[in-house]
Amino acid sequence: MATSSNRKVVPEAKDALEKFKYEVASEVGVNLKNGYNGDISSKDAGKIGGNMVRKLIQQAENQMANK
């Protein structure tokens, strides 16, 4: 049986991550709509995901530097 690797470590963060995804999509010029977005290109999906990861890493580094 296959297991999903998309499981949230902190399920309570789901809504915040969804909001973050739409903010990043807007910043990179990708128009996401509520619900199904399977019609966007892989390139656009990669832009969104890549920028989300970049921002999350930057935030973690800033938190580590301020400790």
3-state secondary structure of 61: helix
Residue 9 pLDDT: 83
Instruction: Give residue 42's pLDDT.
Output: 96
pLDDT for the residue 3: 67
User: Residue 53: is its pLDDT beyond 60?
Assistant: yes
The tens digit of pLDDT for each residue in 13-48 reads 899 999 999 999 999 999 999 889 999 999 999 999
pLDDT of residue 6: 74
Those residues with Cβ within 8 angstroms of residue 51's Cβ, 6 or more apart along the chain or in another chain: 24, 27, 28
Both structure tokens of 60: 């973690």
Give Cβ neighbours of residue 17 (< 8 Å, ≥ 6 apart). 8
